[in-house]
Amino acid sequence: MSKQKKIKDYRQQFINQGYAIVEDVLTIEEAKEGVAILLDKIRPESPESYAGIWGTRRQLKTPEHSVPEIARFATHPKLLKVVSHMIDGPFRLTAEPLPIVTFPGKVCGCLKDGNWRGHTDGLSRVPFLESEGKAACIWLTFADIESSGGATTLIPGSHCLIEKMAADPEFRAKSYTAEDNLDGLNWNPKEITLKAGGVFFFYDQAIHSASDNLLQQPRLICAYGFTKKGNQEEELTARRTIHERFNSNHLEMMDDQMEQLIGLV
Ligand SMILES: O=C(O)CCC(=O)C(=O)O
């Protein structure tokens, strides 16, 4: 299959399914570097990260804290190329990248326990197809995510239904279970397993959840958000609020390439 066709495929998959996977973005060596950094910086007990209600899943508190060495993968040429096919025109990194480690243990259940429930991260007021090609959230993985290894779980295509129903205030308030009988939805949550070095494009309006990590291998990922650049005024406004979205120490130490990517220069 030609490269061009594959690229079209993942963008189309994203539109249809609310997620897409691109393998082999980092080399095995690069992914291993990421593993070492994350395991050094995030530990189950480290105060810079939090679990909330999610057991062994730890997420860095940003922008108060940052891991610049992990953030720097945002400038990886292959990663930027992959993002450039999902966003039309120039784009920038929107916020401090978000490292997440799911250590072995309980998080919030899993697909096998038959009690799976999902949520959306708020509900967008902008119709999906209107924002298509304007933003991309990618989760880069540094170690293989095997089945039962703390993968994201998601109902493919659910973003379309959510969009139709989001106008209903009661609907907006809840998380979703199979019993909700969401008319027209094929209730078939899927584990997003992935090889080290791959990326998962994620649309947070698809019904999704975290999951327990029943294996020994921690799930080691980092989330990066990108957005299409706006007009001159919009970019100036974004620059003014940069300290709200990026860590101050990190801002001070960024190299030219990173500064350019976040829209500082
Ligand atoms: O960690 C995951 O796989 C999913 C996290 C999630 O559900 C969320 O951030 O809203």
pLDDT of residue 158: 94
**One pLDDT digit (tens) per residue for the chain, 265 residues:** 566 667 779 999 999 999 999 999 999 999 999 999 999 999 999 889 999 889 999 999 999 999 999 999 999 999 999 999 999 999 999 999 999 999 999 999 999 998 899 999 988 888 899 999 999 999 999 999 999 999 999 999 999 988 888 777 777 777 888 888 788 889 999 999 999 999 999 999 999 999 999 999 999 999 999 999 999 999 999 999 999 999 999 999 999 999 999 999 8
- Contact between residue 234 and residue 49 where contact means Cβ atoms under 8 Å apart: no
| pLDDT score of 146 | 98
- For residue 42, the CA-to-ligand 1 centroid distance in Å is 17
Provide the pLDDT for residue 4. Answer: 65
- Domain count along the chain: 1
Q: Is residue 202 part of a domain?
A: yes
Distance 210 CA to ligand 1 centre (A): 5
> What pLDDT shows up at residue 3?
67
Residue 198 lies in a domain: yes
Cβ atoms within 10 Å of 69's Cβ, excluding its own: 14
At 178 the pLDDT is 87
Q: Which domain holds residue 66?
A: 3-254
- Predicted local distance difference test score (pLDDT) of residue 56: 97
Is there a domain that residue 53 lies in?
Answer: yes
Q: Do 108 and 54 contact (CB within 8 A), yes or no? A: yes
Choose which residue among 141, 190, 209 to substitute to test ligand 1 binding: the one with the highest number of ligand atoms within 8 A of its C-beta: 209
231 assigned to some structural domain: yes
Residue 125 inside a domain? The answer is yes
The pTM is what?
0.95
- What is the CB-side half-sphere exposure of residue 97 using CA atoms within 13 A? 26
Q: Is 175 in the pocket of ligand 1 (CB under 6 A)?
A: no
Determine if the peptide bond prior to 63 is cis (ω within 30°): yes
pLDDT value at residue 2: 65
In this predicted structure, what is the pLDDT of residue 46? Answer: 87
121 lines ligand 1 (CB under 6 A): yes
Q: Is residue 260 part of a domain?
A: no
Pocket test for ligand 1, best of 205, 208, 222 (most atoms within 8 A of CB): 208
User: Whose C-alpha lies nearest to ligand 1, atom 4?
Assistant: 210
pLDDT of residue 173: 73
**Is residue 261 included in any domain, yes or no?**
no
73 domain residue, yes or no = yes
For residue 101, the domain's CATH number is 2.60.120.620
